[in-house]
Amino acid sequence: MADTDAPREFAFELALCSHLEATTEWVVSRQLGATVDRAGRRIVDVVGVAPGPGFDRRAEITDRSVPIRAIESDVGAGEAVPRNRVLPEMASETRDAIVDTAVDAGFFATERRDGREYVRQTTRYPDEWFGRLVGIENKPDLGDPGALDRQLRTDVSLGLFDAVVLATESHVTRAHLNRIPAAVGVWRFDPETGTREEIRPPASLSPDEPGIELVAERPLRTDVRPVTAGEKARARRRIAERAYGKGWRTYDFPACAHAEATDDGRPYCAQFERVVDPARTCGDDCDAFDPAEPPDVSTGALRDERSTWRRDPPGVRRRQSGLDRYI
């Protein structure tokens, strides 16, 4: 194996996602951009999306993410719009990509009239389909905090989430708590037993109010950007949509004879008897690698069975069998 140590943070993250999926009503996802100015600047390890009053209506539309620009466009459910007038402020290639993605997801439908293509919504978008958003930063070993303080300060000052939590496997001391922003909750989670202890509850943040985004930090200088409540609302919708479509089983299973899947769909190596990160530890660089067909796992079926997410709802045309094997 390329790395003889278990990919601790990866295994910890997947175990926590599985635990939250089993013990909450949340839509659970991982590795999502969670800023306003540039989504990739801050990647949150795990996001929990609590269902809102319109959740069932949202679940009926599509099991994929709906593009935010499609939701915000002038295309409505009552009247079709010429395709070339959808998002007219955007370059044609970008506009076409958004429209095509929305059509593929089943949120837009197209029709032709007199040789022109028109676009309409298949249904009205339910704005209140999600409630609370919970952001979770994983740090199994608090003895190696890395950029933890900056990451958590960013989350609290921006306030995109209703609550922010730090999840760790370490014993949490008073000194640890004093170094963590007071608004951040702390969980101690054992990935082997799946037990979670709340050391400190998270404070309620203010996603409906303006926030401050940390843009860059330099010696003796921190660049920040004020963020409006409207910008935060749009970012929250983007996060929720991305979480709904992505989920947390975002890996391919290794094409190795030793590769297996746990009951909840995590990649497991029978040779080394542990959950592995296929992208980092499997393949030709592994001494035990034995080429074979990957495990036959439908992660979409597992997610449908174990969570509130709904696979292939009535609002989506059926896809060819096999195309969503690893969705």
Question: Would you say residue 27 lies in a domain?
Answer: no
Work out the average pLDDT over 287-306.
Answer: 95
pLDDT of residue 326: 36
Rounded average pLDDT over 15-43: 92
pLDDT surpasses 50 at 103 = yes
| pLDDT per position as a tens digit, 165-215 | 999 999 999 999 999 999 999 999 999 999 999 999 999 999 999 999 988
| Residue 284 token pair | 């030709």
Q: Can you say whether the dihedral through the CA atoms of 31, 48, 133, 314 is positive or negative?
A: positive
∠ CA 27-182-21, nearest 5°, is 15
- Predicted pLDDT of residue 39: 60
Residue 219 has pLDDT above 90, yes or no: no
Residue 281 in any domain: the answer is no
Distance of CA 103 to the CA centre of its chain: 22
Per-residue pLDDT at 137 exceeds 70: yes
- Residue 298 sits at φ, ψ, to 5 deg, of -100, 95
Task: Read off the tokens for 279.
Answer: 């992208």
In a domain, 133, yes or no: no
Residue 278 in any domain: the answer is no
- Per-residue CA distances from 245 to 29, 163, 192, 231, 326 (Å): 9, 22, 28, 21, 12
Give the residue numbers spanning the domain of 93: 67-121
Q: Judge whether 100 lies within some domain.
A: yes
Region 299-325: mean pLDDT is 74
In a domain, 89, yes or no: yes
Q: What is the total count of domains within the chain?
A: 1
Does some domain include residue 102? yes
Question: Quick check: is 103 in a domain?
Answer: yes
